Structure 1
Amino acid sequence: MAFWLGAGHYAQRWREVRDLPLARACLALLAWFMLATLWSPLPWPEALMGWWPYRKLLLLVLMLSILDEARWGWRMVYAFLAGFALLLLVSTAQGLGWLPLNRLRNPSAYTSHIAYSTMLAFAIWLCLWLSVRGGRLAWLWVGYATLAIVNLFFINTGRTGQAIFLAMLAMHMLQRWRWRGAIGAVVAVSVLSSALFAASPTFRARLLEGVADLEQQRAGQVNTSLAFRLEFWRTTLEIGARHPVLGGGMPSYQTEYAAVARARGLLGDRVSHNPHSEYLLIWTQAGLVGLALWLWLLWVQWRDSRRLREPANHLAQGLTVALALAALFNSSLFDNQDGHFFVLLGAALWTLGRIHPRA
């Protein structure tokens, strides 16, 4: 904020925001979240803290209004890859037993395995596109991508990142070959998944664990990761149905879920502080209006990403798919690491891909 204020030229900055649909969509969603604090069941200072995690959207708007040359976007992309390389190396060392696991008992360096796997999948996408561009560093991006793919499917325990990578692969084939790509996407993803299931003990274990969790949940046992999530989603739908249009206010979710938990005698991990779905979290707190604005933001991001210059258009489409998919199973905008990742990479890709009047 301080640097943005110090940059001056506010009229020019406003024109940048006004002329960019992505910035307008971010401000609309952020403004509605702020409005939703007015009917929160919590005191206003606490309600404001429920809005606070979404301030990242304002960061994206400010960055888009001030970054006026493609070189800044490239610098941000390279800085992300350089920083993430440290995470990748630490994670690989943890997977090989050279370093202890993190506090969550996962080989995901010093972050959560969900955020790590999401960033890992997109780092692979970035490196593959950078290698396609050629140049003297093509070998570096191929090596980076290879190490990252091995980590994603043989060391990493985050199913979100694995699903995102496979989805982006299918998206690429659809975009490149249209209807023929649809057939190829199904075949490629099926063959790759089968090969990974046979070759990777980690990938196979996570899939079998998911199947076992679902079977236990059907048997009435709620003591596994997926079973918890299914219960969270079902209860969240019940809560959201009480106030579907405007929502319960920011941040009503924890308060309302705690009340349901007390009424049903739910204890421990069965008391949800987060539904693990950005869509459900927004709906239950900001209603159908908030959900519509969130979907509009995703749509604008997808539509405008296709208008960017290459290779930013392909990279931005991958980022949009990653966000939309990750948000189904996690609160990817609300969460600190995931949310900042999507905002910062979004600013970088839109900066290097759009045509600036001042450039």
Structure 2
Amino acid sequence: MDLLNIFLMISSYLKVTQSTTLWLIVFTSVSIVLPTTFMSIATVLFMIFWAISGDYKIKFERISSNPAALASIALFCLYAIGTLYSSASWDHRLCFLGKYQKLLYIPLIVSVIHSEKLRQYAMNAFLLSMIMVLIISYLKWLGIVPHDDIGEGYFVFKGRIAHNIFMSFAMFLMMYRALKSARLIRVTWIILSLLAVLNILFLVNGRTGQITMMTLIVWFTIEVWGIKSLKYWIGLVLIGMAFHQTMPGLSNSRLMSIQQEISDHQPNGVQTSSGERMEMYKNTLTLIKDHPLFGGGTASLANEYEILAKNKNFTLTNVTNPHNQFLLTTQELGIIGLAMLILMWLSHWKASYHIGSAQDSSALRGLILTIVIGSLFNSLLLDASEGKFYCVLAGILLSEYRPIVRIPA
């Protein structure tokens, strides 16, 4: 076999593997809303084909020139270092580190997407899959599709928390599509957006997603009409508060019951959902005081929390995360880890203003708001579905980042 044939074989091999890698990103984007098994298969295949598809120099150049991708790597490295001094068993440490490895999807995806067409394929794939979820949810509500009622509403594939978080971001994308579309297509997007809002508020009772949805709607109006739109929202909030006081029965019962749940909760007795979260927040802050700078190490919270809870004779002792990503990161990696987490999101936010497409630029900011607001009430980077949702879509959008090239005077 001569050198030309060898060269052609290698070239053909690289072309196939590189093309497959890109289409696996699209598949991964679709699998976000599907059962976790599909996403696990998609991400594993993507990493395998990324590794065997060559062009390593170009890949690393793309990563090194993207500050947002480097920030994600830096946070993962801190979690890796955190395994060295954690009090958890090595099995538990490596398990948690494996959960955080999704942060590496961001630089991996950034390193291979260079086509605007494929980037749009991936984003459209996510949005279309969410429209499918929306339709199935309504079909469940109508009784056309079988539904097992467990008190969480008509969620599809994921639980109520993930369902509503994903639907909130999908609604945000739909509103932008409506803004940029014309006539009949605009009406279609508006209808889908309204159906998504109603789905989040009334069909699926995930409170995190409901709060995220309201935040994204406010942010959308600020981006479109400017800061002056806030005065109208303040007026609506005041009207809503008055409405709730006069007609509490017509308000969303679960979202409005948070204060009552916190009041009813007893650490050594009656347990409520919101009360448990407040208890976990308070106890995690106590643990943070023990090692504020570097934290207790990756996956250390479960051991430390159990000891603290038993000493205080609390009913709730088996806690693997405090349902707040900021508190969890601070407990595991200290103030240094918290600073790196915030720096990562700030770098992603800053990068959003260096994206050529105005629609993708706004989409990235909406995605960041979704994960940040959601992380106040859940440990989203740790969670399999929500964490991959952010890292995959952030990688797709950040692949469009273009640094400012300064021309010498």
| Match of residue 124 from structure 1 | 171
Report matched runs for 1:222-237 at 5 Å.
222-237=270-285
Report matched runs for 1:1-359 at 5 Å.
1-98=47-144, 99-101=146-148, 105-134=152-181, 137-188=185-236, 204-217=252-265, 222-267=270-315, 269=316, 271-308=318-355, 309-351=357-399
Secondary structure at the residue paired with 2:381?
Answer: coil
Identify unmatched segments of 5+ residues in structure 1: none
Higher alpha-carbon deviation: 70-79 or 320-329: 70-79
How large is the Cα RMSD of the aligned pairs?
2.8
CA contact (8 A) 1:197 1:203 kept: no
| Paired letter, 1:302 | W
Q: CA deviation at 1:259?
A: 1.4
Are residues 185 and 203 of structure 1, via their aligned partners in 2, closer, same or farther at CA, if it must alter by over 3 Å?
same
Distance 2:250 2:166 in 1: 19
Q: CA deviation at 1:229?
A: 0.3
Distance 1:123 1:8 in 2: 34
Distance 1:166 1:211 in 2: 19
Query: How many pairs are equivalent?
Result: 356
CA contact (8 A) 2:354 2:403 kept: no
TM-score (norm 1): 0.90
CA contact (8 A) 2:268 2:313 kept: no
Secondary structure at the residue paired with 1:337?
Answer: helix
CA contact (8 A) 2:153 2:203 kept: no
Are residues 245 and 55 of structure 1, via their aligned partners in 2, closer, same or farther at CA, if it must alter by over 3 Å?
same
Q: CA deviation at 1:312?
A: 1.0
Q: CA deviation at 1:63?
A: 0.4
Q: Deviations over 1:124-160 (max 9, x none)?
A: 1111111222157434423322221221112120111
Q: Deviations over 1:71-120 (max 9, x none)?
A: 12211111112222232223223334443236674321231111111111
| Paired letter, 2:155 | S
| Paired letter, 2:290 | R
Q: CA deviation at 1:168?
A: 1.6
Percent of aligned pairs with the same residue?
24
CA contact (8 A) 1:155 1:202 kept: no
Q: CA deviation at 1:197?
A: 9.9
Distance 2:403 2:249 in 1: 46
CA contact (8 A) 2:263 2:275 kept: no
Are residues 176 and 146 of structure 1, via their aligned partners in 2, closer, same or farther at CA, if it must alter by over 3 Å?
closer
Q: CA deviation at 1:198?
A: 9.4
Are residues 16 and 178 of structure 1, via their aligned partners in 2, closer, same or farther at CA, if it must alter by over 3 Å?
same
Identify unmatched segments of 5+ residues in structure 2: 1-46
CA contact (8 A) 2:165 2:370 kept: yes
Distance 1:197 1:169 in 2: 24
Are residues 262 and 200 of structure 1, via their aligned partners in 2, closer, same or farther at CA, if it must alter by over 3 Å?
closer
Distance 1:313 1:190 in 2: 32
Are residues 197 and 132 of structure 1, via their aligned partners in 2, closer, same or farther at CA, if it must alter by over 3 Å?
farther
Q: Deviations over 1:148-196 (max 9, x none)?
A: 1221112120111111121122223333444423323323555578779
CA contact (8 A) 1:23 1:61 kept: yes
CA contact (8 A) 1:306 1:317 kept: no
TM-score (norm 2): 0.79
Distance 1:131 1:58 in 2: 33
Secondary structure at the residue paired with 1:311?
Answer: helix
CA contact (8 A) 1:94 1:101 kept: no
Are residues 155 and 208 of structure 1, via their aligned partners in 2, closer, same or farther at CA, if it must alter by over 3 Å?
same
Distance 2:258 2:223 in 1: 30
Q: Deviations over 1:259-281 (max 9, x none)?
A: 122223334x5532220000011
Secondary structure at the residue paired with 1:39?
Answer: coil
Are residues 147 and 315 of structure 1, via their aligned partners in 2, closer, same or farther at CA, if it must alter by over 3 Å?
same
Distance 1:35 1:106 in 2: 41
Higher alpha-carbon deviation: 304-313 or 65-74: 304-313
Are residues 263 and 317 of structure 1, via their aligned partners in 2, closer, same or farther at CA, if it must alter by over 3 Å?
same
Secondary structure at the residue paired with 1:101?
Answer: coil
Distance 2:241 2:380 in 1: 25
